[in-house]
Amino acid sequence: MSDRNNKIPFDEDNYTHNINRNNERMLDRRGFMKTLAGAAGVFAVSTLPWGAVAAKELMGLGDKEYPHQKIADLKDVKVGDSVKFHFPSENDSAILIRLSENKYVAYQNACTHLRCPVYWVKDEQEMICPCHHGKFDASTGAPTAGPPRRPLPGIEVEVKDEAIYAVRVKRYEA
């Protein structure tokens, strides 16, 4: 027991195990640095699309100005009524609500939960999503009940010459 550490474990008849062979170490210091530099390249390339989209957003559709679109004539919308329309494109359904004599609000009415169309319930003064009973506050677009968590994107409206126009989609405020 006492000289247990003093023994050579096996007969050593060759000395090749400590020969320093070429490329023996797969990931040495240099290889590691090469990997790091490569990873930096991957990161650089992967941010390119984000930069490109951001640049496009900055130049082209900076404030997302769409051609003004007439929604309805003033006389056709009574207080408490709502009108469906499409803005900014054919496929973005939206809803206009006249809350009071001079207060108009408009939202893109695809529910922020799973994009069901939200509609206006006059009696309850609330916007309701039929799919899972999400509810939205009509004056702000903020969700008040049900699964939706984000507000409906607002649309800026303008009253001009006895008609209501959709001007732009408001910036999404998180």
Q: Which residues bind ligand FES (CB under 6 A)?
A: 111, 113-114, 116, 129, 131-132, 134, 146-148
The item of ligand FES, other proteins, none sharing an interface with residue 119, based on CB under 5 to 8 Å by kind, is: none
Least Å distance, CB 99 to ligand FES, is 21
Q: Which residues bind other proteins (CB under 8 A)?
A: 29-30, 32-34, 36-37, 39-41, 43-44, 46-48, 50-51, 53-55, 57-58, 171-172, 174
The item of ligand FES, other proteins, none sharing an interface with residue 172, based on CB under 5 to 8 Å by kind, is: other proteins
The item of ligand FES, other proteins, none sharing an interface with residue 39, based on CB under 5 to 8 Å by kind, is: other proteins
Residue 107, classified by CB atoms within 10 Å of its CB into exposed (0-12), middle (13-18) or buried (19+), is buried
Least Å distance, CB 43 to other proteins, is 4
Least Å distance, CB 9 to other proteins, is 27
Strand partners, 159: 164
Least Å distance, CB 86 to ligand FES, is 19
The C-alpha atoms of residue 49 and residue 104 are separated, in whole angstroms, by 38
The item of other proteins, ligand FES, none sharing an interface with residue 26, based on CB under 5 to 8 Å by kind, is: none
The C-alpha atoms of residue 127 and residue 143 are separated, in whole angstroms, by 9
Residues 6+ apart with CB under 8 A from 70: 163, 164, 165
The item of ligand FES, other proteins, none sharing an interface with residue 57, based on CB under 5 to 8 Å by kind, is: other proteins
Q: Are strands 104-108 and 154-160 parallel, antiparallel or unpaired?
A: antiparallel
Residue 169, classified by CB atoms within 10 Å of its CB into exposed (0-12), middle (13-18) or buried (19+), is buried
Least Å distance, CB 83 to ligand FES, is 20
Q: Which of these, 145, 140, 53, lies nearest to 97 by C-alpha position?
A: 140
The C-alpha atoms of residue 147 and residue 46 are separated, in whole angstroms, by 33
